[in-house]
Amino acid sequence: MAALVLTVALQLWLRRLPVREAPAGMRVRTSGAGGYAQRAVLNVGEQSARQALVAALPNGYHVLPCVRVLDFVDVPAAMKPRLMGHVDLLVVDRRFTPVVVVEVDGPFHHTPQQRRRDAAKDHALRMAGIPVVRVAARGRQTGQDLYRQVQPHL
């Protein structure tokens, strides 16, 4: 009985905690007590780039969002801690072999820390033979502009 009372009291207290605002471009829906929330996998710029690629790519290619680098690149053990992140969009062929990575760079990509992460990621991908195309999140690129950058790597 005491455990039940404690659990209910804790849940009521957690509901009073503020839920942090999501970064611009993210859609968030609160899904329960304790400040947990659900959010979109891709921000607006990433969604736009993915939709443009899906529409422009020929049959046989797929655009996968938010894939961990270590899920498709083997790296030396010493590099693994630096490559725990993901790529925004991974274009794969019909055998799901990586073809090209598309990174949609937003305002956070200008910080020194993020530039170091991006450089480590770009180096690992380059060493694995996977090209990287970087586009600005707020750029005025059309789907065809993005396709022209990706097309040489198909």
pLDDT for 51-73, tens place per residue?
Answer: 999 999 999 999 999 999 999 99
What would the mean pLDDT of 74-84 be, rounded to a whole number? 89
| Both tokens assigned to 58 | 């020929």
Phi, psi of 66 (to 5 degrees): 50, 60
* Average pLDDT across the chain, whole number: 82
Q: Give the β-pairing of 132-136 and 98-105.
A: parallel
What would the mean pLDDT of 84-94 be, rounded to a whole number? 95
Determine how many CB atoms are found less than 10 A away from the CB of residue 73. 20
CB 120 within 8 A of CB 71: no
**Residue 50 confidence (pLDDT):** 94
pTM, full prediction: 0.76
Give, as one character, the DSSP assignment of residue 22.
P
- Ranges of H-type helices in the chain: 2-16, 44-56, 112-127, 143-150
Strand-pairing partners, residue 100, are 91
Strand-pairing partners, residue 63, are 91
